[in-house]
Structure 1
């Protein structure tokens, strides 16, 4: 079976936006899937992880659109430290990758007219619109996958009413064309069902690949309690200020950050006198980042209580589950909290409760000193391989059904 895949991010691009489609195609290819991936030019994304390229299945051809189709590349040249540019949502919808839609859809139609279905993973939501164009041109089933909400994404600013109406119209038109839609959690799937009540919708959560953790050297004993944070820290979204405040009051706790971070973080670290206790490692290749996590004692998850936060789980939560270390989660009510409630060594506190944060750090220090931190051995519940097999089975049913109708 052949797939025409639209994924703006794909290795050597790094980060969760590239890892989910990579793992899905890797494991589905073991079940006989082949095809072509249409993705952005290597220079159109500033997070690079060459180590992931060895996992691209040989049965897939990777084609890239020309460079400079991402307006953020211009912003990054003007502001090299910029991590994201939410202001662009006021000018282009569904997102700032809108210029990618036309060349990407054309490239796919020319590259694989013999495809059996078209699949897109979002965000960017422009990938779904490019895939819809290709599916219409080739008269093929359209399969969509959502890692974040299209219209209720808390990572995006609250748009004026006219913008929201346009964005919802684009989402409705695209989603209703799909023959199957998957989302990473129930909140996203509920939103999809509101747009397309007659379409098949399934929850395929993020996960972890057990082989990514094989051979990691887990710390025997650190000199002090060491927290680990994986992923980007944004200056105004999910910024872990209560964690920094608590660390300033509780000595003997170290934090390692494996991900991009804003100038605000370095300024706050200096102001709180935490410079010798927080290691800012920057973005690391996936395996190296996991090794930093294995060298640490506690995995740190922080989601602030902003509107729409209920639908956030974040990819890092599943990598933390795969690591097995205790998880300290600063979480509002929602999908992430529901996920960690099922993890026996997870500690959940309110995201803005400095007192609870201090108490948790003190208690964890005492447990650490007694050498009593408990690891959790993960099951296969969130195995990416199992999820890919489940997804591909649904896809086969959709494709077979469409072929039977012709």
Structure 2
């Protein structure tokens, strides 16, 4: 069996979405003739932890770890959050703050290139170079963000000549918060230069949505490929749960300001006073970490009695929770790159057996997948009338016992199937 070195920041006990892709691919790669060797930090600063995910790591998987130094203690001291966990996406620009917060972001974007994990690059290259002398592998995969993982792989690729796949779970300079980093012209140039080096020198660049693949293709990679995220059959099988009696709309995952479903709050504020039956049955359940601005909107529209804050759940419990929902809410960031977002939870939603109501652009990649599989519907960010009509239609189906999912053809998005696509790319670059 051939071996592939996978360089990833996120690995159990990390929770959240960032860990899922390569945790699951590492699980299924051996079925395609590839044995993964994981390289990950020994002491990372995870915003979310989920100990249950350790059960998905095979005892046959070799996991290499070295210490990492991250400057988040400095960031937390500057912003008055000492001792608290930092949500890296929000610290990187997804959340507004005061002058100290903006200063911290400016320092992050201009000095820590490509990201705050940059201090791990050179020690990792040194460690892995020595490791590979006595433990050869056939290929390298780096997955980012954080994009420092790609720089480790770039330097290792240059030293060893090993075939290399750069896997982008999110864009680099096209990410929605990039302009909020307040970059100098020099820092912007360095980010673009580093990105271009990775894209042009990797044997294959992989991303997770058609739109993002097109954006990367314009930058001139040797090879570009789409490998979707997905759902793990093992996670959704064998869960025997009863569907909620109330008209429940459930969202799984973090909700920040960009993902705040204002159109839903507005529509409900207009519908509920005039529709007492709907008001007596509806319950919005938010599972995960929710920013304060979301609850400010909920209170603004006097919807507090209809919204339940569940908090963070383990991945296993979250899967069971979504299978209980009457409807699943899928929220897309209301940002310029919204068309290219294919959030990973979409695939688990499809496999849950419950219908999905998404909020986002009607011409987006998510809308196309929903239409292709018949797994749900989508309402645009600002379409209040459309949302009201959709809610009434869904509620009518709920009352008549007809609120079911008719999803089909989604099996292609299983983690096992998508891992087969990734393994095929490994086969191609190692011929």
Give the alignment's TM-score, normalised by structure 2: 0.86
Q: Which residue of 2 aligns with 1:373?
A: 403
How far did 1:200 drift?
A: 1.5
Distance 1:395 1:224, change over 3 A: same
Q: CA deviation at 1:267?
A: 3.1
Rate the CA distance shift 1:344–1:187 in 2: closer, same or farther, 3 A: same
Contact 2:247 2:395 in 1 (8 A): yes
Q: Do the aligned residues in 2 keep the contact of 1:38 with 1:62 (CA within 8 Å)?
A: yes
How much does 1:19 deviate?
Answer: 0.7
User: How many angstroms does 1:245 deviate by?
Assistant: 2.5
Gaps spanning 5+ residues in structure 1: where? 401-406
In 2, the alpha carbon distance for the partners of 1:232 and 1:73 equals: 23
> Could you report, residue by residue, the CA deviation over 1:150-191 in whole angstroms, capped at 9, with x for unpaired residues?
121114434557243322111111111111121111112112
Contact 1:29 1:57 in 2 (8 A): no
Cα 1:75/1:172, change in 2 over 3 Å: same
Deviations 1:301-336 (A, max 9, x none): 122442122221111111111113111111113222
Give the Cα–Cα distance (whole angstroms) in 2 for the partners of residues 147 and 266 of structure 1: 29
Q: How far apart are residue 145 of structure 1 and its match?
A: 0.8
SS of residue in 1 equivalent to 2:238: coil
Conservation of the 8 A alpha-carbon contact between 2:72 and 2:86: no
Whether 1:349 aligns to 2:379 is yes
Q: Give the whole-Å Cα distance in 1 for the aligned partners of 2:145 and 2:359.
A: 25
Equivalent of 1:210 in 233, 238, 243: 233
Are the aligned partners of 1:260 and 1:282 in contact in 2 as well (CA < 8 Å)? yes
73-82 or 162-171, which deviates more: 73-82
Offset at residue 81 of structure 1 (A):
7.0
Aligned equivalent of 1:404: none
Identify which of 245, 249, 268 aligns with 1:247: 268
Q: Distance in 2 between matches of 1:21 and 1:313?
A: 17
State the alpha-carbon separation in 1 of the partners of residues 237 and 13 from structure 2: 22
**1:35-89 CA distance string (max 9 Å, x none):** 421113354112111111111133322223325x233354356423753212233
Q: What is the aligned partner in structure 1 of residue 58 from structure 2?
A: 57
For these two proteins, the number of residue pairs brought into alignment is 396
Give the Cα separation in 2 of the matches to 1:227 and 1:262.
Answer: 19
Paired position in structure 2 for 1:223: 245
1:144 and 2:163 matched: no
Distance, in Å, in 1 between the alignment partners of 2:65 and 2:298 is 40
Q: 1:269 aligns with which of 298, 306, 309?
A: 298
Aligned-pair Cα RMSD in Å: 2.1
Structure 1 match to 2:415: 384
CA contact under 8 A between 2:328 and 2:354: conserved in structure 1? Answer: yes
Q: Which consecutive residues of structure 2, in runs of 5 or more, have no partner in the other structure? A: 94-104, 273-278
Q: Secondary structure at the match of 2:294?
A: helix
CA distance in 2, matches of 1:91, 1:302: 33
Runs of 4+ aligned structure 1 residues displaced above 6 Å come to: none
Q: Aligned partners of 1:106 and 1:384: how far apart in 2?
A: 33
User: What is aligned with 2:210?
Assistant: 186
Whole-angstrom distance in 1 between the partners of 2:121 and 2:165: 17
Q: Residues of 2 paired with 1:285 and 1:155: CA distance? A: 28
Distance (whole Å) between structure 1 residues aligned to residue 112 and residue 308 of structure 2: 37
Task: Return 4-13 or 347-356, whichever deviates more.
Answer: 347-356
Distance 2:130 2:254 in 1: 36
Which residue is equivalent to 2:130? 110
Q: 1:134: Cα distance to partner?
A: 1.7
CA offsets 1:326-349 (integer angstroms, 9 cap, x no match): 111111132222222213241211
| Cα distance in 2 between the residues matched to 1:112 and 1:81 | 34
Q: In the alignment, which residue of structure 2 is the partner of 1:94?
A: 114
Q: What's the offset of the Cα at 1:268?
A: 3.1
TM score, norm. by length of structure 1: 0.91
**Structure 1 Cα separation of the partners of residues 287 and 73 of structure 2:** 23
Q: Which residue of the partner structure matches residue 430 of structure 2?
A: 399
User: Residue 312 of structure 1 contacts residue 335 of structure 1 at CA under 8 Å; is this kept in 2?
Assistant: yes
Match of 1:403 in 2: none
Contact 2:43 2:67 in 1 (8 A): no
SS of residue paired to 1:351: coil
- Preserved CA contact (<8 Å) 1:35 1:112: no
